[in-house]
Amino acid sequence: MFAALCWSGRRSLTLGAAACVAGGLLIVVLAGKGMNVSYDYGFFRCIFGFFTGYFAFSLWQGISPQMRHWMGRCEIPAVGAVILFLVYASDNVVSVVAPFLFGPVVLVFAGERGLVSRAMR
């Protein structure tokens, strides 16, 4: 899907990716299992997460170096948000917001400029 959308042009890629995120989200929500779907709706969960990651990458490309430096200060709150989410969302339908949380968390850590990144290096 991604390759076909890439070949169709930038605008088609963005619109197609948005449609994939919306469609994947809708199907996963209607499945009623949250993100805990595998063989039955796993393809749609994959599409939902993958194209949400595409939008995170697109945002990353547009972020200025000054903003990337500032984002490093958000690493500790990002880790806290992930821990809280994992504790409270677990296997229920709330888990479908995971890509919307983890996308920004990936952005925060992509610059590797915060305390957590330095400790992990």
pTM of the model: 0.77
Domain limits of the chain? Answer: 2-120
* CA contacts within 13 A on the Cβ side of 96: 23
Highest mean pLDDT among 1-5, 25-29, 80-84, 89-93: 80-84
Nearest to 99 by CA among 20, 7, 31, 11: 20
Q: What digits encode the pLDDT tens for the residues 50-67?
A: 999 999 999 998 988 888
pLDDT at 100: 87
Query: How many whole angstroms separate alpha carbon 77 and alpha carbon 73?
Result: 8
Helix spans in the chain (H): 2-7, 10-31, 42-62, 65-71, 75-89, 98-110, 115-120
